[in-house]
Chain A
């Protein structure tokens, strides 16, 4: 059994590390995301500088004891530099003070710590630096505000707002609301429409039923790419481009996969209960609504869950149909944010990603059994 456990644990580390890394990065200040070797735990550093103990940011490492001084001649005149102690003899250099090997530090707000007016960060020996775990939860509100299109400078109050007019009202709360609308209306449609349709296929007899069902199954083989261009045309002629409608309204007209899934479930319910209700004079709609639906909650939950997951995660749909930032869903807003801040501020990008992932993780823990059963019995949605 030992090799099995070893393999399971190795697998678990590999599979869970990326998400852990996402959370750890989201909770770090920027400079701790860019150190090499990487720093795993977000930390705060404290140093005693000139008699006060302050939180500091570690700058570059100074390997040898050195001297701070000011260049007094040449094109660099006036700048403060860190040089080896031998440079004291250099006539172009005015010595200020000796510093030990250690880390250059500035305060968390970026204030320089050395003697006033020296204009250079101080150097603190490693033994004088204390560290404690500190999680920067403040990255989250900043990241969400930036997702809404605000710049970091604007958030710090050092630059005026660049957004004006319509876009100024687009922000994380609106993106979240749009996503929830698409998910909730889509889930309601998917559950009710597919249940009604599947009932018609599973428990009623009418001419052409089996032929239409065969056509329904056949349409599952058509790749989305084939439908993409004409669907865009359909939504355009309906005037839906730029609205959320293309993302949820089609769910109210059924989908082949869900019809198939619910039909299979409805067929497992005994025909006798329907017959008994018919003899009592129940209408077909009442049999469906009052008898069959309550018995089918496990299957309906699978449909609801998969549709929610699809709608929350969908990217191509919003990319095609949402033209105005005020109608963006979270997935599209996250991509838009990333595309405008490439390669920097990973902690904010990870924080914004974590916020997009969190509801799905929470949903998983509440509906774990439905997830596993749904995938196991249907093979998932592919």
Chain B
């Protein structure tokens, strides 16, 4: 190597040094170790013992694994599309030229930065079966059919819907991303479409949606990744990692966490983590394929 490029290399590695340590210690080593542990019997107290595919073999026959996977997919199947629609609706409203836009934007956005521990406490109170404000509001609605509102987090059939409802409160982040996308759509497109006689619906369908399709795709992928790893609100609102009531909120991350840190079955938990990785990769790939040619990149 020439002296000059050698010096450049030294300078470069000087700047990058911290990251080489960080990448190695906090990412690359853990990834490799996790893969290795997933083929081991490992409790962190003793050295890992190689057991081949046994963890994966046992997982397939583990009812709780399937239960937690089902719960997680159920949660994602509702919270992701509903979140996409609600945040897009809010962004479309905010994109109209209205007075007090900044105030509305603030009100819609703020819930998304509330610490999740605190918002879980708040929603525990709102969903409270006896004194909760939600059931007070819903009682007349349910009485129309002669029923009573559910106990939400106390009812296995309603605990997941409660968490889905709560997740919609935090869509402020994706709303802001949509809003940025909407503001990037050239005004001339709407103007010429209006001249050509396109109505509001047709402009939305033929201009807005294609123009913001990259943003929809981004929010979809981020939504899937986030929903599949739902943890904190379920941990707090069910009072621990058991997924109460009746394991109805035992989400994948909760089961993984309790397997690793309560049962100290670290090898089994590592195998679960890799299956989660594969599921996320698969769903992201599916979303990318489904989006495929429908995504319009303007530049």
Q: Does the CB pair B27–A33 fall under 8 Å? A: no
Q: Does the CB pair B114–A360 fall under 8 Å? A: yes
B116 within 8 A of A: yes
- Specify which chain B residues have a CB less than 8 angstroms from the CB of A219 in the assembled complex: 23, 27-28, 31
B22 within 8 A of A: yes
Neighbour of B122 across the interface among A1, A215, A252, A353, CB < 8 A? A353
Interface 9-residue window, one of A77-85, A90-98, A156-164, A197-205: A197-205
Q: Does the CB pair A259–B19 fall under 8 Å? A: yes
Assembled-state Cα–Cα distance A5/B106 (Å) = 16
A310 smallest CB distance to B (angstroms):
10
Contact A38:B136 (CB < 8 A) given known A4-B98, A228-B273:
yes
Q: Does the CB pair B16–A37 fall under 8 Å? A: no
Interface positions, chain A 207-222, Cβ under 8 Å from B, are 207, 209, 212, 215-216, 219, 221-222
In the complex, per-residue mask of A245-264: 1 if CB is within 8 Å of any chain B CB, else 0: 00000101111100100000
Neighbour of B12 across the interface among A205, A332, A334, A346, CB < 8 A? A205
Interface 9-residue window, one of B73-81, B125-133, B185-193, B201-209: B125-133
Interface of B is mostly: helix
Count A-B pairs with CB separation below 8 Å.
Answer: 266
Closest to B15 in A: A200
Assembled-state Cα–Cα distance A221/B98 (Å) = 39
Interface positions, chain B 78-102, Cβ under 8 Å from A, are 89-90, 93-94, 96, 98
State which size class the interface on A falls in: 35 or more
Q: Does the CB pair B8–A204 fall under 8 Å? A: yes
B162 within 8 A of A: no
A313 within 8 A of B: yes
B155 smallest CB distance to A (angstroms):
15
Interface of A is mostly: helix
Q: Does the CB pair B15–A316 fall under 8 Å? A: no
Q: Does the CB pair A338–B236 fall under 8 Å? A: yes
- Specify which chain A residues have a CB less than 8 angstroms from the CB of B109 in the assembled complex: 371-372
- Total chain B interface residues with beta-carbon distance under 8 A: 91
Assembled-state Cα–Cα distance A126/B95 (Å) = 50
- Specify which chain A residues have a CB less than 8 angstroms from the CB of B8 in the assembled complex: 204-206
- Specify which chain B residues have a CB less than 8 angstroms from the CB of A228 in the assembled complex: 256-257, 260, 269, 273
B117 within 8 A of A: yes
B167 within 8 A of A: no
Interface positions, chain A 323-365, Cβ under 8 Å from B, are 330-332, 334-335, 338-339, 342, 346, 349-350, 352-354, 356-357, 360-361, 364
A-B contact pairs, 23 of them (CB 8 A): A1-B98, A4-B98, A8-B93, A22-B125, A34-B131, A193-B18, A200-B13, A200-B16, A204-B8, A204-B12, A206-B9, A206-B11, A219-B31, A226-B30, A226-B274, A227-B27, A228-B273, A230-B34, A233-B33, A259-B19, A319-B235, A338-B121, A376-B177
Q: Does the CB pair A227–B34 fall under 8 Å? A: yes
Closest to B232 in A: A315
Contact A377:B180 (CB < 8 A) given known A1-B96, A206-B8:
yes
Assembled-state Cα–Cα distance A184/B175 (Å) = 29
Assembled-state Cα–Cα distance A22/B103 (Å) = 20
Contact A350:B125 (CB < 8 A) given known A226-B34, A376-B179:
yes
